Amino acid sequence: MKVAVVGATGLVGSKMLQILEERDFPITKLFPVASERSVGKTIKFKGKRYKIISMDAAIGKKPDIALFSAGGSVSQIWAPKFAAVKTVVIDNSSAWRMDPSKKLVVPEVNATVITKNDKIIANPNCSTIQMVVALKPLHDRYRIKRIVVSTYQSVTGTGVKAVEQLMNERKGKSVERAYPYQIDLNLIPQIDVFTENGYTKEEMKMVNETMKIMGDDRIRVTATTVRVPVIGGHSESVNVEFESEFDLEEVRQLLAQAPGVIVQDDPSVLLYPMPLVAHDRDEVFVGRLRRDETQEKTLNMWIVSDNLRKGAATNAVQIAEYLLQSGILKRKIQKAAASI
């Protein structure tokens, strides 16, 4: 199995490499790919050093899978070029998410939509991923009518520059800003640029991606996304209205049995999800489960997950794992095995 990681030197790309190693993904040849200025440098994977190569060089290697985390503009140009040599691209940018011809996948929710004809598969937005993982079992049981979500998103979602801004501000140092305002001791109610309707692109991603992933355009979603001075994960306050009445204990049971979900919900011992708990974990943590006493059939919940892992890198690797487990790439694996 030949695997390329495009954007291998970035926050998400390096996390992809880490997770591929942790999960012992069956790689026979690894091709780390980055911008021209990084070509020739090395990265470490499973105790070995690998040289970073260019896009063109990677395409020439015809990898079976390419995990992309290099930004939307790069993906729009290069993902089709990889696909043209029959590489399956799993793209972490927003470039292909709402393209009707491309699948938008969270394995716990809708992996079965993937077919052998899909050569570019989109990885959803980090805040959308964790929300739909938690909501899927509840949607199946009660049918969701409306979601009101407010997010509290880690600076790691922006990248290295944002992390440096936060840490340097905390030390009282002057620093080049990733945000238009100070982030330490502050909250910024803007993630991505504003659109004509007054919402940001991040907010509209949550609206549109949720309907596509859940396969139900009747679900109404309204979102407010906020950047907070946190490293470790994104948190979400979610108010969800169902078509059917629900039992709170059954909700807990459904969530406890759901793949990729951990319930932490015991106010008597102050047990609830926090970014400190979710950091470096792949699960989605859910707690603060309670009825909305102002409206029928409506639940309040608190959802936390590591945005670099499940919100990005882990989800992409899980898609790759599904390609193997489902047999979509079985023929290629057999060929690779025969050549070893």
> What are the residue numbers of the active site?
126, 234
Question: Which residues neighbour 59 within 8 Å (Cβ) at sequence distance 6 or greater?
Answer: 81, 82, 85, 87
The CA-CA-CA angle for residues 199, 154, 240, to 5°, reads: 55
Which residues are bridge partners to 50 per DSSP?
43
Contact 145, 258 (CB under 8 A): no
What is the rounded CA–CA span in Å between residue 112 and residue 81? 25
Q: Quick one: 338 exposed, middle or buried, by C-beta within 10 A (0-12, 13-18, 19+)?
A: exposed
Cα–Cα distance for residue pair 318/236, rounded to 1 Å: 23
DSSP 215-239: T-TT-EEEEEEEE-S-SS-EEEEEE
The SS3 assignment for 241 reads strand
